[in-house]
A and B are shown apart, each in its own frame.
Chain A
Amino acid sequence: MKPFSILAACAGFACVSAIAASAAETAPDNVTHDDYGSVAESLTGTAGDAASGATIMTDRGLGNCIACHEVSALKDAPWHGEVGPTLDGAGDRWTEADLRGIVVNSKMVFDGTIMPAYYKNSGFVRAGDLYTGKAAPADLPPILTAQQVEDVVAFLMTLQD
Chain B
Amino acid sequence: MAKLNITTAVATLALLGGTLGASADENAKLVINGDIEMVTRTKAPDHVPFDEIRSGWTFRTEETQVLQMDDFDNPGMIFVDQAIDNWNTVEGSEGKSCASCHQDAESSMQGVRAVYPKWNETAGEVRTLAMQVNDCRENQMGAKPYKYDGGDMAAMEALISVQSRGMPVNVAIDGPVSETWEQGKEIYYTRYGQLELSCANCHEDNYDNMIRADHLSQGQINGFPTYRLKNAKLNTAHARFKGCVRDTRAETFSAGSPEFVALELYVASRGNGLSVEGPSVRN
Contact = CB atoms under 8 A, between A and B. Distances in A.
Contacts of A60: 1, 3-4, 212
Interface string A40-79: 0000000000000000000010001011100000000011
Given A114-B201, A116-B196, A125-B192, A81 B212 contact: yes
A128 B206 contact: no
Interface stretch (B23-31, B45-53, B158-166, B239-247): B239-247
A80 B248 CA distance: 19
A60 B6 CA distance: 11
A83 B2 CA distance: 13
Given A78-B9, A83-B209, 14 more contacts: A60-B212, A67-B4, A67-B212, A81-B212, A83-B211, A124-B250, A125-B191, A125-B192, A125-B250, A126-B250, A127-B249, A127-B251, A128-B248, A131-B247
B213 interface: yes
A34 to B, nearest CB: 22
24 contacts: A60-B1, A60-B3, A66-B212, A79-B9, A79-B212, A114-B201, A114-B205, A114-B206, A124-B194, A124-B250, A125-B190, A125-B193, A126-B192, A126-B250, A128-B194, A128-B248, A128-B249, A131-B249, A133-B242, A133-B250, A135-B251, A136-B194, A140-B194, A143-B194
A133 B251 contact: yes
B197 interface: yes
A64 B247 CA distance: 12
Given A126-B250, A128-B250, A116 B194 contact: yes
A126 B245 CA distance: 10
A114 B209 CA distance: 13
A132 B246 contact: yes
Contacts of A116: 194-197
Interface of A: 60, 64, 66-68, 78-83, 114, 116-117, 124-136, 140, 143
A124 B196 contact: yes
A60 B214 CA distance: 14
B252 interface: yes
A89 to B, nearest CB: 21
B interface, size bucket: 20 to 34
B232 interface: no
B210 interface: yes
Contacts of A127: 193-194, 249-251
Contacts of A126: 192-193, 245, 250-251
Contacts of A67: 1-2, 4, 211-212
A142 B252 CA distance: 19
A130 B249 contact: yes
Given A60-B1, A126-B193, A131 B209 contact: no
A140 B249 CA distance: 11
Q: Give 3 nearest A-B pairs by CB, closest first.
A: A133-B246, A67-B1, A67-B212
A29 B191 CA distance: 20
Contacts of A128: 193-194, 246, 248-252
Contacts of B245: 126, 133
Interface in B197-253: 197, 201, 205-206, 209-213, 216, 242, 245-252
